Amino acid sequence: MSDASADLTEIDRIIDGHRTLEGPMLPILHAIQHAFGHIPEAAIARIAHALNLGRAEVHGVVSFYHDFRETPAGTHTLRICRAEACQAQGGAALEAAAQRRLATGWHGTGTCGVTLEPVYCLGLCACGPAVELDGQLHGRVDADRLETLLKEAGA
């Protein structure tokens, strides 16, 4: 069996395991992302068909929620808080520094293997600007501290 057909088989297995839940789309999407690291394009049509929805409806959910990815993430994930409290404490400058350092925009992956994602609150409002690097939260991050964190992560 080819990798593509194995992927489709796994997608179908995930859908079948969740389709009887009330409001099954989000659990299906989370399970597929957990299995593949992203939502493969082939999954959109299969989910839509299984749930009797339009492909645009499924794609709309995937693109609306920031936790879903349409492409695989890099070896590291950097999430920068874009909420008002972090913006008021220098978040825009941090975002610009991160985009320059990684040479990518939001939802992109730099050549160093870091995927850059926006998030709208990390719960560190008093310690902004805040970031999450590979699941670890960090507060009061500026461009210099970000560089240190990335180097420590091997990026």
Specify whether the CB–CB gap between 44 and 57 falls below 8 A.
no
Mean pLDDT of the chain: 93
What does the pLDDT read at residue 3?
A: 63
Phi, psi (deg, nearest 5) at residue 58:
-65, -45
Architecture of domain 76-152: 3-Layer(aba) Sandwich (3.40)
User: CB of 115 within 8 A of CB of 109?
Assistant: yes
pLDDT digits (tens, 9 = 90+) for 80-114: 999 999 999 999 999 999 999 999 999 899 999 99
Taking 50 as the threshold, does the pLDDT of residue 15 lie above it? yes
Predicted TM-score (pTM) of this structure = 0.74
Confidence of residue 54 (pLDDT cuts 50, 70, 90): very high
Q: Measured between alpha carbons, how far is 15 from 18 in angstroms, rounded to an integer?
A: 5
Full 3-state SS string of the chain: CCHHHHHHHHHHHHHHHHCCCCCCHHHHHHHHHHHHCCCCHHHHHHHHHHHCCCHHHHHHHHHHCCCCCCCCCCCEEEEEECCHHHHHCCHHHHHHHHHHHHCCCCCCECCCCEEEEEECCCCCHHHCCCEEECCEEECCCCHHHHHHHHHHCCC
Rounded Cα distance between 25 and 134, Å, is 26
CB of 62 closer than 8 Å to CB of 29: yes
What does the pLDDT read at residue 1?
47
